[in-house]
Amino acid sequence: MPHTPAALALRRATVATRRYVDRWGASARALDALAALSCFALMILDVPGLARADNSLTGFTATLVLAAGASSLLLRRRASWVPYLVALVLLGWLTELTMIQFALYSLGRFRGRWAGITGTAVYIATAYALFHLPGWPAFYGDRLSDFLSLVVPIGVLASGVGIAAYRQDLVCALQAQRAETAALQAVQDERTSVARDVHDLVGRELTVLAVRAEVLAVRARGDERQKEFEELADTARRAHHTLNETIVRRADGRSATPGLEGLAGLAEESGRMGTPVALAVAPGAAALSPLAQTAVYRVVQECLTNAAKHAPGLPVTVSIAVTGRHLRIEVRNPLPAAPPDRAPVSTGTGLYSMEERVTSLGGTLAARRLTDAYEVVALLPAGLPA
C-alpha cells in the first residue's frame, strides 16, 4: 500500500522529534535542570501553607527559599550531599518533604548503595527527632505509627529507586564496554587476517624474486653485476624471513582467504542453506590484485552470513563491477515481513571487520537500511588502467 504524503510527513516529523528528545535526554545538564524544575513545581504548591505558618515567611520569600533549595539539585551529580543537606534544612525549618525525595534519589543514583542507605538512615533519624519537637504538623502524623507510615516509605522508596538506577547504569556501562571490546577484537582479528594474506601473497612474490635474482647472479658470473644480483637475492630472502617472523609465527593455522574464484562456492553454499544468491562478477574484476580479491571475498562472505541470519530464505543479489578506477561491490537483500522466529545469534562485529578490511586497502564501505531492502556497498581501488 503506497504511503500518502501526509503519512510520510508525519513519519519524518516523528523521527525528527524522537532524535531531538534523545539528544536532549542525553544531556546531563538538561536532566539536572528538569529535576530541579520538577522539584520546585511540586514544592511551590506548599507556598500558601508556608506563608500562613509561623516561620516569618511571606508567599514571595517562601517561593525564593524553595527556589534556592531546588536549585541545589543542579549539583546532584558532582556533589550529591549538597542537595541532601539542603533538604534536611528545609525539613527541619519548613517541614518540607518534597526536596528530600529528590535528594535521596540523587544520592542513590549517583553515589551508589551505601550512600543511599546512609542518607536514608540519617533522614529517618532526623525526622524522628523533629517529630518529638514542638511544632511538628499534625497532618504529617500525630502518632508515631502515622509518622513512620508516612516518612519511612518516602525515604526508602526514593533511595531505592536511585540505587536501582545506579546499578542499571553500571550494567549499561559494562555492556557498552563489552560491545566496544568485541568491536576492537573484530578489527584486530581482521588485521591479523589481512596480514596473513599479505604474507601468503607477498611472500610468494619475494620467493620468486629471490630465485630470479640467484639465476641472474649465476648468469652474470664474472660480471660486475654479479654482486648486485647476489645482494638483491639476499635482500629478498631477508624480507621473506621477516614476514615469517612477524606473521607466520602469530598465525593460527587458518588457510589463506580465497579470491574471486571462491565466490561461486560461497553462492552455492548459501543456496544449500536456503538463501538463493544471484551472483554477477564483471570480467574485468579477474585482473584485480590478490589482496583486493580477498577483500571482495570477505565482504561478500560476511554479507551472505548476515542475510542468512536476519532475512533467511530471501534472495540475495551480489554485483561486482569495475567502474573506472574503482571496484564496486553491492550486496542487497529484501527485508523480511516479520523478524525471524528465533533471534539471530550475532556479536554485531561483522560490519567492523568488513570496514577494517576495506579501509585497509584505501576503500570505503557503507551499509544502510532502505525502504524494502538492506544494502551494503563497498568501493575499492581497482588498480587497473581506466
Predicted local confidence at residue 347, as pLDDT:
46
Give the pairing of strands 326-334 and 373-381: antiparallel
Predicted local confidence at residue 85, as pLDDT:
92
Residue 5 CB contacts under 8 Å (≥ 6 apart), including other chains: none
Sheet of strand 277-281, all strands in order from the earlier edge strand to the far edge: 277-281, 316-323, 326-334, 373-381, 364-369
Q: Which amino acid is at 325?
A: R
The beta-strand segments (E) located in the chain are 277-281, 316-323, 326-334, 364-369, 373-381
Lowest mean pLDDT among 185-194, 207-216, 242-251, 374-383: 242-251
Give the pairing of strands 364-369 and 373-381: antiparallel
pLDDT digits (tens, 9 = 90+) for 105-148: 888 888 888 888 888 888 888 888 877 777 666 555 556 666 66
Burial class (CB in 10 A: 0-12, 13-18, 19+), 277: buried
More confident residue, 247 or 334: 334
Average pLDDT, the chain: 76
Residue in the structure block whose three cell numbers are 609465527: 249
pLDDT-derived band at 345, boundaries 50, 70, 90: very low
Residues 278-297 have a mean pLDDT of 82
pTM of the model: 0.44
pLDDT digits (tens, 9 = 90+) for 26-53: 578 888 888 889 989 888 888 887 777 7
CB distance 326 to 290 below 8 Å:
no
Q: Which three cell numbers stand for residue 238?
A: 631477508
Residue 252 CB contacts under 8 Å (≥ 6 apart), including other chains: none
Q: Is the pLDDT of residue 204 over 70?
A: no
Residues 65-77 have a mean pLDDT of 90
